[in-house]
Structure formats: structure tokens, C-alpha cells
Amino acid sequence: MVTNRMSPENVENFIHEHLKEDLRVYERQLIELNAEMMEYVQLKNMIETIVGQEEGEGFKTQVNIGGNMFMKARADNADRMLVDVGLKVYVEFTKEEALRFVEMKIKVLTKQASIVRDKSIETRANIKLALLVIGDTQRLHTSYDER
């Protein structure tokens, strides 16, 4: 006999209130991590471009001044640069130090995304398992009623 705690209604409530909410949180975290990772990949590409230039040779760029409004800018000396290391804290790095930091940050974000992705997969599996439990209990009830 099915206990009241494992009734199909309770299992469905658990799926909707807990598991699906967890899944939404994990998906949101993945989106945020992937967006941050893409920013660091773009920064890495820019730093690699700057490293490939000759010493003392500046470069032209466009700077976002807010509201997706851009202004032309020229950097005459790109030997040192400010990099956002998190929480809107900027640290001055040489080109090589900045490149090492960005590569390390990409590895950390990739690892974090992998962990969140694994949790998401586990939650999806738990949802499927819970739905199988509901289906099995309903089949047990119908086969028991037929006897």
C-alpha cells in the first residue's frame, strides 16, 4: 500500500515546488556564467591582439560610454591595462599578466559551469525518476483494482 507521504499528489508537488525551481536556478546560473565567460574570451582575444603589436604602438578602439553609445578612442601606450577582477575592482596588469589572469579566470568559470551543468543534469534525472514513481504507483493501483 502506498503511504500518504509518497502519494502521487505529494510527489507532483515536490517536483513542481522544489525540483523544477532548482532546475530554473541552475539554468539561470549557467546563463550568467556563460555570459561572463564570453566577456573574458573577448578580453583574451583583445589582449592577444595587443600583445601581437609592436612595443609602444597604440591602437584605436570604440569605448562604450553607457546606454550602448560608443565613442572613438585611441590608446597610445598599451603596456599596462586595467582588468576587472570581480566586484568592480580593477587591477593594473602588464599585457602578459593580464593574459595569464584572463586564461585562469576562463578555466575557473568553465569549471564552475561544469559543476552547475552536472547539478542540472542530476535534477533532470530526479524529475524523471519522480515521474516514473508516479507512473508506477498509478499502474499498481489500476492492476490492484482489476483483481
Q: For the chain, 147 residues long, give each residue's pLDDT as a single digit of tens.
A: 445 666 778 888 888 888 999 999 999 999 999 999 999 999 999 899 888 877 767 788 888 898 889 999 888 888 889 999 989 899 999 999 999 999 999 999 999 999 999 999 999 999 998 888 888 777 766 655 555
Structural domain boundaries of the chain? 8-142
3 state SS for 119-133: HHHHHHHHHHHHHHH
Instruction: Specify the pLDDT at position 2.
Output: 46
* 7 backbone dihedrals φ, ψ, rounded to 5°: -65, 150
Instruction: Specify the pLDDT at position 56.
Output: 66
Cα–Cα distance, 85 to 111 (Å, whole number): 17
Residue 70, H or E segment: strand 70-75
Query: Which class does domain 8-142 fall in?
Result: mainly alpha
Cα–Cα distance, 10 to 28 (Å, whole number): 26
In a 13 Å sphere around the CA of 143, the CA atoms on its Cβ side amount to 7
Q: Are 53 and 78 in contact (CB under 8 A)?
A: yes
